[in-house]
Chain A
Amino acid sequence: MKKIYNDEENKFSELLKDLKDLPKIKAPDNFEYNLLTRIKNKNFGNAVKERPQFSWAKFLAPSAVVVITIILFFIFLPSSRENNNQLLQQTKLRDNQSAVNNSLSAKNELKNQQSTPSNTKLQSNSPGLLGSNDRTTKPSVRSPLYDSRSIKLDDYISGSNKNQSNTNRGNIVNNGEEPSQYDGFIVSEKPDKKTLERYRAVVDSIKKAQLKADSLKKVQK
């Protein structure tokens, strides 16, 4: 290793000789005097860097910005917006209801399976040997537009739908025995009794007026 560097030094021998022969620069005569004067006057110039002093203004300005951004973030948090959206809430409610219904039906099916004898269970475990008593479990999802609870209006008017009895049809038309889970987007309002009576009185007075008019016409004839 040393040899390599010695060879390199030989390669640059002339340059090295010149570099060593360069005149030595000496400090000016007044160097020490100037240095002592600077020290006495505490004129340290570039030798000492001034450290930044602490000030409340420098500290408070950025911290205020940080606090304001945090407050604004919590005020305009995206989750709070979602809660206020009525339409989204309704869909969430519907989803939750269907999930509850599904879980209930699943529980019922589990109960049914437990009540069946153990032999059938074994048979059902072996593939391709399903017995007649065995049931394949399909998740029954109760959709709001369930088939038995819907009716084709055209068929209902013409009377061509013979599968459904009149009472069933009536139930369906009158919203069935149970209240429908799906209301759609139409707001259903119950009529006010007072307004009904008012309308009835108006209709009655019109009928009476018509009767009077008819009797007057007969008299004129």
Chain B
Amino acid sequence: MSKLLTELSDEDLIKEYQDNNTPEAYDILVKRYKDPLMNFVYRFVGDRDVCADVVQDTMIKFYLNKDSYRSFAKFSTWIYTIAGNLAKNELKRRRRRIIFSISNSDDERSPQIEDKMFIAPDKAADGTIRNEIIQKALLKVKPVYREVVIFRDIQDLSYEEIAGITGLAIGTVKSRINRGRAQLQKLLKHIYRE
């Protein structure tokens, strides 16, 4: 039975879980999506501990509201929408915390200066540091652009899927991706200088 379940598509698994309340179907879907969701939420929020909580909350929402999924949509679209909304809520919460605490805002400002001014190009060539710089720059891009850039360029989702997740028109998605990339390139100009 479990062998058969692993061979099923996401949509068939969720149907199985909805119709027969099969816990194995839920487990398989959690196993399939925990890593992609972790990657997306981490790139969007930038905190490993927080992103683990957000993904857990996503899975709990999926567990509690399994019946709100409709079969005409892709499961990936549905689960990414939940994760995206929770990640945005987390960002809002963090922003509120930053506004109300003076010490936090000081901590936030210092690395920004460091990123732009003090990283030498030879250091930037090192893979791990380069990745860190890219991640920090990504967090400085506006959330509306950051979200679509992550979906497209990191998660490799199609424009249609992104449009389904964000609820935007494909044209809007494309233009937002473009603007996000432009912002990111501008922030990383010391790496991509010619």
Residues on A facing B (Cβ under 8 Å):
5, 8, 12, 14-16, 18-28, 31-32, 34-35, 38-39, 44-48
A-B contact sample (13 more), CB < 8 A, given A25-B48, A44-B60: A5-B178, A12-B185, A19-B153, A20-B154, A22-B131, A25-B38, A27-B35, A27-B37, A27-B55, A34-B56, A35-B59, A45-B60, A47-B61
- Residue B57 CB within 8 A of the other chain: yes
Flag B115-131 by CB within 8 Å of A: 1 or 0 each: 00000000000000011
- Tell me if A31 and B52 are in contact (CB < 8 A): yes
- Tell me if B153 and A8 are in contact (CB < 8 A): no
Q: Per a CB cutoff under 8 Å, which of B37, B39, B52 touches A28?
A: B52
- Tell me if B60 and A15 are in contact (CB < 8 A): no
Minimal beta-carbon separation of A102 from chain B (angstroms): 71
| Chain A residues within an 8 Å CB radius of B192 | 14-15
Chain B CB within 10 Å — which of A8, A26, A27, A39 has the most?
A27
- Tell me if B185 and A18 are in contact (CB < 8 A): no
Minimal beta-carbon separation of A50 from chain B (angstroms): 13
- Tell me if B154 and A35 are in contact (CB < 8 A): no
9 contacts between A and B (CB under 8 A): A8-B178, A15-B188, A20-B153, A20-B154, A20-B156, A24-B35, A25-B35, A34-B56, A38-B60
Minimal beta-carbon separation of A16 from chain B (angstroms): 6
Stretch at the interface among B26-34, B106-114, B160-168: B26-34
Minimal beta-carbon separation of A15 from chain B (angstroms): 5
- Residue B42 CB within 8 A of the other chain: yes
Minimal beta-carbon separation of B171 from chain A (angstroms): 9
- Tell me if B57 and A22 are in contact (CB < 8 A): no
Q: How far is the CA of A34 from the CA of B55 in the complex (A)?
A: 12
Chain B interface extent, by class: 35 or more
Known: A5-B174, A16-B153. A27 touches B34 (CB 8 A): yes
- Tell me if A26 and B181 are in contact (CB < 8 A): no
Q: How far is the CA of A67 from the CA of B183 in the complex (A)?
A: 57
- Tell me if A15 and B131 are in contact (CB < 8 A): no
Minimal beta-carbon separation of B31 from chain A (angstroms): 7
| Chain A residues within an 8 Å CB radius of B153 | 16, 19-20
- Tell me if A18 and B130 are in contact (CB < 8 A): yes
- Tell me if A35 and B131 are in contact (CB < 8 A): no
Chain B CB within 10 Å — which of A18, A25, A34, A38 has the most?
A25
Q: How far is the CA of A20 from the CA of B43 in the complex (A)?
A: 12
- Tell me if A39 and B38 are in contact (CB < 8 A): no
Q: How far is the CA of A208 from the CA of B156 in the complex (A)?
A: 133
In chain B, what residue has the closest Cβ to A36?
A: B27
Minimal beta-carbon separation of B81 from chain A (angstroms): 14
- Tell me if B184 and A15 are in contact (CB < 8 A): yes
| Chain B residues within an 8 Å CB radius of A47 | 56-58, 60-61, 64, 86
| Chain B residues within an 8 Å CB radius of A35 | 30, 56, 59-60
Q: How far is the CA of A26 from the CA of B38 in the complex (A)?
A: 6
- Tell me if B56 and A15 are in contact (CB < 8 A): no
| Chain A residues within an 8 Å CB radius of B25 | none
Known: A8-B178, A15-B188, A47-B64. A22 touches B134 (CB 8 A): yes
Q: How far is the CA of A8 from the CA of B48 in the complex (A)?
A: 32
- Tell me if B39 and A24 are in contact (CB < 8 A): yes
| Chain B residues within an 8 Å CB radius of A34 | 56
- Residue B149 CB within 8 A of the other chain: yes
Q: How far is the CA of A160 from the CA of B181 in the complex (A)?
A: 109
